[in-house]
C-alpha cells in the first residue's frame, strides 16, 4: 500500500505482537486500533526469512515509519554507505512516511558499542554533523528525521545546552525532529535542567513525530529502559508539548517486559484522549477570543 501523510497514534512493532496484527480472524477494536506502526529498521535489513514475511503481511494493513539505531550520524568514522544503501532498499519495500535515527554516535574506529551515545554540544560538533546529514539526505532522497537521546553524562567541553544544540542543528541541516518526550524528561532529571524550557526551544515546524515511553527511576538517576508504563510526569510533559507545538503523530515504545497488546492499546488510548482534550480546550479558547 502506498504511504500517505501520517497522522494519529502508533505503536512500535515487536515480534511478541506479530500474530495480533497479522491475524484477520482476531481484528483489533476499531476505537483502540493503532493508526500506524514503527519498525526498527535493522530488524528487517536481512536477505529474507520470517522477519520480512511478517513485515510484508502486516504492511498491507498498516502505514509504517522506519526507525534505526545504527546510523551513527555523530561518529568520527565515515558514514557506512553499505548500511545506507540497505536502508534505502528497505525503504523502497516499506514505503515509510519517513526514516528516523538517533542524534548520537554508536561506535568509533569501526567498532559498534551498541549504545546511543550523546554528542558534545559544541560548534565543532555542529560543523561535523551538518554535512553528514546532507550526505544521508542526498542518498536517501528524503529528509532525515533525528531523535533526541537520553543521556547520563555531560562533556566538559559543552558550549551550549542540548536544546540549543538540537535547535541549531535542525536550522542548519534542514533535518526533522522525532521529539522523544520521555528522553527529555529522563535527561532533565539526570542533568537538572527544566524539561519545559527544552520543549520551548524546539522548532515546532520541524517536529514530525513524538515518542513516549517508560523508564526506571532510581531516585538519583533515571534510566531510559522502555520497560515500564508511562509515568505521570511524562504524561504531563507530553500535554505541555502538545499545547506548545500542536498535535503530532505519537507512538509508544516498549522494548522489554512487553505486555499483551491489549494493555499497550489502552495506554496508547490515554495519549489519544489527552490529545483530544487539549485540542478541544485550545479550540474553545480560540473561539472565545474570536467572539
Closest CA to 147 of 69, 75, 78: 69
Q: Classify the phi-psi angles of 143: left when phi > 0, otherwise alpha if psi is within -120 to 50, otherwise beta.
A: beta
CB 42 within 8 A of CB 55: no
Residue 22 confidence (pLDDT): 85
Q: 9-290 adopts what CATH topology?
A: TIM Barrel (3.20.20)
Neighbouring residues of 24: CB distance < 8 A, sequence distance ≥ 6: none
Tell me the torsion sign for CA atoms 163, 10, 208, 119.
positive
Pairing of strands 111-117, 105-108: antiparallel
Give the C-alpha separation, 290 to 192, whole Å.
40
Percent of the chain with pLDDT over 70: 97
Each residue's pLDDT, cut to its tens digit, for the chain (291 residues) gives 334 479 999 999 999 999 999 886 767 888 899 999 999 999 999 887 899 999 999 999 999 999 999 999 999 999 999 999 999 999 999 999 999 999 999 988 877 778 899 999 999 999 999 999 999 999 999 999 999 999 999 999 999 999 999 999 999 999 999 999 999 999 999 999 999 999 999 999 999 999 999 999 999 999 999 999 999 999 999 999 999 999 999 999 999 999 999 999 999 999 999 999 999 988 877 777 776
Residue 291 confidence (pLDDT): 63
| pTM: predicted TM-score of the whole model, two decimal places | 0.94
Neighbouring residues of 109: CB distance < 8 A, sequence distance ≥ 6: 77
Give the C-alpha separation, 59 to 15, whole Å.
14
Residue carrying C-alpha cell 515546532:
204
Residue extents of the structural domains in the chain: 9-290
State how far the alpha carbon of 150 is from the alpha carbons of 5, 25, 31, 103, in Å.
Answer: 28, 40, 32, 10
Grid coordinates of 285: 479558547
Residue 2 confidence (pLDDT): 38
> What is the b/e burial string over 22-49, where b = at least 16 CB atoms within 10 angstroms of the residue's CB?
eeeeeeeeeeebbbbbbbbbbbbbeeee
State how far the alpha carbon of 197 is from the alpha carbons of 103, 184, 220, 241, 248, in Å.
Answer: 19, 10, 21, 10, 19
Grid coordinates of 7: 497522522
State how far the alpha carbon of 209 is from the alpha carbons of 21, 111, 250, in Å.
Answer: 22, 30, 6
Closest CA to 98 of 7, 190, 199, 230: 7
Amino acid at each position: 500500500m502506498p504511504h500517505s501523510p501520517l497522522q494519529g497514534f502508533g505503536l512500535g512493532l515487536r515480534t511478541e505482537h506479530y500474530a495480533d496484527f497479522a491475524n484477520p480472524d482476531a481484528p483489533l477494536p476499531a476505537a483502540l486500533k493503532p493508526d500506524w506502526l514503527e519498525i526498527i529498521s535493522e530488524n528487517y535489513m536481512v536477505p529474507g526469512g520470517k522477519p520480512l514475511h511478517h513485515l510484508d503481511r502486516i504492511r498491507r494493513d498498516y502505514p509504517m515509519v522506519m526507525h534505526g539505531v545504527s546510523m551513527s550520524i555523530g561518529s568520527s568514522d565515515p558514514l557506512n554507505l553499505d548500511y545506507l544503501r540497505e536502508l534505502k532498499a528497505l525503504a523502497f519495500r516499506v514505503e515509510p512516511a519517513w526514516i528516523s535515527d538517533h542524534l548520537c554516535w554508536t561506535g568509533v574506529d569501526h567498532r559498534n558499542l551498541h549504545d546511543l551515545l550523546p554528542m558534545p554540544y559544541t560548534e565543532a560538533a555542529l560543523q561535523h554533523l551538518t554535512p553528514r546529514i546532507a550526505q544521508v539526505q542526498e542518498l536517501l532522497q528524503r529528509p532525515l528525521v533525528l531523535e533526541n537521546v537520553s543521556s547520563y553524562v555531560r562533556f566538559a567541553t559543552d558550549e551550549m545546552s542540548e536544546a540549543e544544540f538540537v535547535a541549531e542543528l535542525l536550522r542548519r541541516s534542514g533535518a526533522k525532529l522525532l521529539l522523544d518526550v520521555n528522553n527529555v524528561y529522563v535527561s532533565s532529571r539526570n542533568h537538572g535542567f527544566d524539561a519545559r524550557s527544552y520543549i520551548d526551544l524546539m522548532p515546532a515546524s520541524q517536529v514530525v513525530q513524538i515518542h513516549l515511553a517508560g523508564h526506571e527511576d532510581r531516585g538519583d538517576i533515571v534510566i531510559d529502559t522502555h520497560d515500564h508504563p508511562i509515568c505521570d510526569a511524562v504524561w504531563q510533559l507530553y500535554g505541555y508539548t502538545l499545547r506548545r507545538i500542536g498535535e503530532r503523530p505519537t507512538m509508544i515504545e516498549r522494548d522489554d517486559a512487553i505486555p499483551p497488546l491489549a494493555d499497550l492499546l489502552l495506554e496508547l488510548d490515554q495519549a489519544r484522549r489527552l490529545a483530544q482534550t487539549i485540542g478541544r480546550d485550545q479550540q474553545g479558547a480560540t473561539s472565545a477570543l474570536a467572539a
